Structure 1
Amino acid sequence: MKWACMTCGKQYAETGRAAYYCECGVLLDIRHDFAGVDTERLKAQFAKRLAERNGPYASGVWRYKELILPELDDRHIVTKYEGNTGLYASEAIGRYAGIRTVWLKALSENPSGSFKDHGMTAAVSYGRSLGYRRFACSSTGNTSSSLAMYAAFAGLESYVLLPGQGISLNKVLQTLAYGAKVLTIEGTYDDGVRFCEEHGEVLGLYVCNSINPVRIEGQKSIVYEIAQTLKWQLPDWIVLPGGALSNATALGKGLADLHRLGFIGKLPRVAIVQAEGASPFHRMARRGDRMLVPEPRPHTRASALNIGHPPSWRKALHYVLEQTDGVTVSVSDEEIMDAKAHVDASGIGCEPASAAAVAGLRKLARERCIDKDETAVCLLTGHMLKDTDALREYHIDEAFGARLANRIMPVRLTPEEVSRHLGEM
């Protein structure tokens, strides 16, 4: 395993300390030597591990250890059997989006309720192997609750820098409950990440934001799991929300692994969906630029997407837009919340940021970028109860247009009155 710069190509050997950036200022990327890998043997090994119920290989991340962190000693692994989440075919969402076949990958079923667990188990395990006891992140919510959970489970300390605005209280409460030290800062998520970059080492902190390339390696397991579930036949498209762009990077990198090693015969295309109020990557792609212009004041109701300077944008440009012929799209908060209402009503549910994937799929289908006869997987990145304020705003306050609001109806408790309302339902 080597650490390499995405831009200048300089390589670094493991030093036993945290490493995030090249000396030229660009994020490092982990490179594996997969020479001699026996794909059929690994397929059989991955299938065998599906029967595991205890130990690290019961995890939907560490099942694929040979493709994630093959050199990591098993005794350092911190796992809560993350992954193993449902992949659901949804006719209702297919009709809503306007394409033939849609699967929803419910990453909300992870232990802390979001996709972050795929990367966090890897980051905390690797940091633990280096001897760190203190782990830190800047977060709008899901990263912090995942980090706090794994740190508590392993008897480690966690510290969170929390922006003063644009967050979900549910996620903060979850983080507090797991015992993290939460520090509210003046500034944004991006300001907190910069502080961690500049001062984490001197403070003895192992930083677990997406600047950490080990996080990306763990999150590759999401696409490995989708591919294995679909018997190594991926759909035409994979659609996901884009905030910090670590998940998009991991998805693209994981697809490249699978294709290069012969697990899959062709690459699906990838669509990254951003909220209109926080879409610097989409604006860059639409202009055909190769330099991102940060959004200094991002604003969207989908708090997990409220990021104006995504750290992993260069990696997403390379691994997604270039390698998968990927596309970007932005959607309004109203489109996100309506899509969320459809996903919730389908019996699966998600937080607002997750629903951006479905809103984006629908928009791309309407724009004929995605054909009605193609197939797609949408990644639902967080649980619907991560943001109960959003549910109240939509269904009770009828905000964002609330075209699908499911109103509470007061009744007098008589057979006639209840019968009348049953007829209206």
Structure 2
Amino acid sequence: MKQRCIECGKEYNVNEVVYTCECGGLLEIIYDYDSIELDRDSFKGREFGVWRYIELLPVKDKDKIVSLKEGNTPLYRCKNLEKELGIKELYVKNEGANPTGSFKDRGMTVGVSLANVLGVDVVGCASTGNTSASLAAYSAKANKKCIVLLPEGKVALGKLAQAMFYGAMVIEIAGNFDKALEMVRKLAENKYLYLLNSVNPFRLEGQKTIGFEIAEQLNWDVPDRVVVPVGNAGNISAIWKGFKEFYKIGLIDNLPKMTGIQAEGAKPIVEAFKRGDKDIKPYDNPETVATAIRIGNPVNAKKALDAIYSSNGYAESVSDEEILEAQKLLARREGIFVEPASASSIAGLKKLLEEGVIDRDERVVCITTGHGLKDPDTAIKACEKPIKVKDMDELLKIIKN
């Protein structure tokens, strides 16, 4: 196992604390795949969750593992939405069912476990909310000091409350997420903390297990397409890596098309894809109601674009109005309550079906990344106000009408 630069190919030992290559390129974790002996029967009798796939994860010492029983999230067949959208087969992989309510828990169980292996006592991150909530929980479990930098006034209260309640040192900075990430990376470079944003390749090793679980939950019959909300762009590339690894060792026979969805006010990856470029042009002032993907300079953009191009996938943006409508649609047709960023995958699917980019005979999995209670204020504002009544007569009149 080693860390390897996706740009120049330079390799680093897994015990080296390094976040990017000396050339500036992103790193990825590479295993000796020929030595990994796994078949479909290998998983029988194993506990479900992220660490079910320990042969393809970087921490082997079970005593170092920090877990809150993350993973094993439900994959829902959405028959009501199939009829609504006119698609043959649609599933939602609901990552809001993780312990702190988002997919970030998959990355944090691996990242904080690796911090144990490295003997690190202080961990940190920049966040739009979910990353800070997750890291705060796992660092609390591991008895580590946690420092999180958040953009002032730009974090949903549900997420801010979590980070504070788990005992993290919460620091609000004057600026957006990209500014917060720049600052926390400087702290990491000066060894004040171990950085657990998704620029750290070990974080993505946990998140790739979404792909592993989808394959298993669909009885090893991989979907035609996986639609993913894109913010800092780690998740879409991680899920693609998961599918590729299962394919490489012979557990699955096909690979899905990876489709990334961004908000219109923060869509540098979509713009790069439509130009046919491998490099993005960052947004200075990203803005969207979907706070979890309000990121103008996604650090994993190159990995995300590679996943999209390599899988013959697609990238599209959706408006805030389309996101909020999709959020209500998913709740009112399937009983699944997600935060706005999560609903971008449903909004993107709807748009791409209408445009003919996604065929209505495709088998599609949409990833929803966070629970609706992460951002209750936005949900309340998007809905009709409660009806007020004075007495029973007025109540009956309203109900009968």
TM-score greater than 0.5 by the shorter chain = yes
**1:109 equivalent in structure 2:** 97
Q: What amino acid is the match of 1:250? A: A
Equivalent residues, number:
400
The one-letter amino acid paired with 2:28 is D
In the alignment, structure 1 segments of 5+ residues that lack a partner are 53-57, 396-404
Give yes or no for contact 1:97–1:358 (8 Å, CA) kept in 2.
no
Contact 1:72/1:126 (CA < 8 Å) preserved in 2?
no
SS in 1 for 2:149: strand
Identify the match of residue 126 of structure 1 among 114, 117, 121: 114
Structure 1 residues 32-71: aligned runs within 5 Å: 32-40=31-39, 43-49=40-46, 52=47, 58=48, 60-69=49-58, 71=59
Residues of 1 paired with 2:153 and 2:282: CA distance? 18
Which residue matches 1:329? Answer: 316
Structure 2 residue 186 is the aligned partner of structure 1 residue 198:
yes
- Equivalent in the alignment of 1:340: 327
Partner of 1:417 in structure 2?
A: 394
3-state SS, counterpart of residue 159 of structure 1: strand
Distance 2:55 2:309 in 1: 26
TM-score (norm 2): 0.97
Aligned to 1:39, what secondary structure does the other structure show? coil
Cα distance in 1 for residues equivalent to 2:258 and 2:112: 28
Deviation (angstroms), 1:408:
1.6
Amino acid in the other structure paired with 1:237:
R
Task: Give 5+ residue unaligned stretches, structure 2.
Answer: none
Residues 83-105 of structure 1 show CA distances to partners (whole Å, capped at 9, x for unaligned) of 11111111222233331211111
Q: Residue type of the partner of 2:399?
A: L
Is the CA contact (8 Å cut-off) linking 1:18 and 1:127 kept in structure 2?
A: no
- In the TM superposition, 1:323-402 aligns within 5 A as 323-345=310-332, 346-395=334-383
Distance in 1, Cα, partners of 2:85 & 2:343: 12
Q: What CA distance in whole angstroms lies between the structure 2 residues aligned with 1:113 and 1:423?
A: 38
The residue type paired with residue 238 of structure 1 is V
Q: Does 1:268 align with 2:245?
A: no
Question: Which stretches of structure 1, 4 residues or more, deviate above 4 A after TM superposition?
Answer: none
**8 A Cα contact 2:279 2:301, kept in partner:** no
Q: Which of 168, 179, 198 pairs up with 1:180?
A: 168
Determine helix, strand or coil for the equivalent of 2:33.
coil
What is aligned with 1:31? 30
**Greater alpha carbon shift after TM alignment, 344-353 vs 117-126:** 344-353
User: What is the distance in 1 between the residues matched to 2:158 and 2:95?
Assistant: 18
SS state of the match for residue 214, structure 1? helix
Instruction: Give CA-to-partner distance per residue, 1:359-387, whole Å, 9 cap, x none.
Output: 00000100111111211111110000000
CA RMSD of superposed structures (Å) = 1.4
Residue identity in the other structure for 1:333: D
**1:255, distance to aligned residue in structure 2 (A):** 1.2
For the pair 1:302 / 2:290, whether they are aligned, the reply is yes
Shift of 1:44: 2.0
Correspondent of 1:238 among 219, 226, 230: 226
Secondary structure at the counterpart of residue 302 of structure 2? helix
Over the matched positions of the two proteins, sequence identity in percent amounts to 42
1:317 Cα deviation from its structure 2 partner: 1.7
